[in-house]
């Protein structure tokens, strides 16, 4: 474990103070340390992070991630958090979701949010890359369908539970309708879209998965939203996706709403074929588009 301990000089560099200041904070009990048999002070990363959080340090980009070290299976979660190494954090989420422990998976996502990682960053840079990796592992035959389903259900539970802990902006009165089309059962993406819109003051109506085009249109006419979001990962057929989006877009134009289509099926080869007001590559892009709507 010695390699995971920090010297006084390392901590001083991180906190941008001199070593005597670090020693003084340690002697006062503000910063915990471990004394070696030789009497040297050593610090655990989690204790340094706790100190920084307590005294409102901006921990963003204080250190350059040690990429070779972070590829190890023994990566410190605290270090990955401190350096915002999203590939490392996504790998940790990948492993946690596959273990199938819902509470542990939620606690991991909550830890990210508590350490100033935004909701959009959690989705775009931790959750989505992990599930892209799960999809590739399944396609390659390295994961069974039961493992993929377990990871998906575990992650969904954690994402939904995390929403109760997200700080939400006051409602601005605008309505959004979110859902997936017929024979589309991949729900994580549209759940994340629904959640982040809700966090940003939207009143959302979540239609879920496997919704026929006509039913989607009926919901739009009933709720009269300003925004309609459709997510597609594995569509019924590409033609069906194109025709469904065209029909929905026609309806949104009539009521003055905007249609956003996202997901893996809305990739570069389909972007020119899909009728929509915006086809974002990420949650971050979606929120930039939404912010521009006023």
**Structural domain boundaries of the chain?**
2-57, 86-163, 175-292
pLDDT tens-digit profile of 147-164?
A: 999 999 999 999 999 999
209: left (phi over 0), alpha (psi -120 to 50) or beta: beta
Q: Are 171 and 201 in contact (CB under 8 A)?
A: yes
The pLDDT tens digits for 186-201 are 999 999 999 999 999 9
Instruction: Give CATH for domain 2-57.
Output: 1.10.1660.10
Residue 287 CA to residue 198 CA, distance in Å, equals 12
Per-residue model confidence as pLDDT tens digits over 221-279: 999 999 999 999 999 999 999 999 999 999 999 999 999 999 999 988 888 899 999 99
Q: Look at residue 262 and give its three-state secondary structure.
A: strand
Q: Report d(CA 198, CA 50) in Å as an integer.
A: 30
Confidence of residue 293 (pLDDT cuts 50, 70, 90): confident
> Strands (DSSP E) along 128-278, which ranges?
175-181, 203-211, 227-231, 258-262
Domain 86-163 has CATH 1.10.10: no
In CATH, what is the architecture of 175-292?
3-Layer(aba) Sandwich (3.40)
Rounded to the nearest 10 degrees, the angle between the axes of helix 188-199 and helix 128-139 is 180
The residues, ordered by sequence, that sit 6+ positions from 211 with a Cβ below 8 Å of its Cβ are 179, 180, 181, 182, 219
Provide the pLDDT confidence category of residue 76 given band limits of 50, 70 and 90. low
């Amino acid at each position: 474990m010695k390699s995971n301990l920090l010297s006084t000089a390392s901590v001083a560099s991180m906190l941008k103070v001199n070593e005597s200041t670090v020693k003084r904070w340690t002697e006062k009990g503000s910063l915990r340390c471990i004394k070696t048999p030789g009497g040297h002070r050593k610090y655990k990363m989690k204790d340094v992070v706790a100190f920084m959080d307590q005294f409102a340090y901006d921990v963003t980009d204080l250190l350059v991630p040690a990429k070779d070290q972070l590829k190890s299976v023994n990566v410190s979660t605290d270090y990955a958090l401190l350096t915002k190494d999203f590939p490392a954090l996504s790998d940790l989420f990948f492993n946690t979701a596959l273990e199938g422990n819902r509470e542990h998976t939620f606690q991991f996502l909550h830890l990210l949010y508590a350490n100033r990682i935004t909701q959009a960053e959690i989705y775009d840079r931790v959750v989505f890359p992990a599930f892209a990796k799960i999809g590739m592992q399944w396609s390659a035959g390295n994961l069974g369908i039961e493992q993929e389903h377990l990871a998906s259900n575990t992650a969904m539970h954690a994402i939904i539970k995390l929403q109760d802990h997200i700080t939400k902006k006051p409602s601005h009165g605008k309505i959004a309708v979110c859902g997936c089309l017929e024979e589309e059962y991949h729900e994580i993406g549209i759940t994340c879209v629904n959640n982040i819109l809700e966090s940003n003051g939207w009143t959302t109506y979540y239609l879920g998965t496997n919704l026929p085009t006509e039913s989607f249109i009926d919901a739009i006419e009933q709720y009269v939203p300003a925004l309609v979001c459709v997510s597609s990962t594995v569509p019924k057929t590409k033609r069906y996706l194109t025709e469904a989006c065209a029909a929905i877009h026609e309806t949104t134009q009539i009521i003055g709403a905007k249609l956003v289509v996202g997901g893996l099926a809305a990739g570069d080869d389909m972007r020119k074929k899909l009728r929509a007001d915006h086809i974002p590559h990420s949650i971050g892009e979606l929120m930039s588009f939404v912010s521009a709507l006023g």
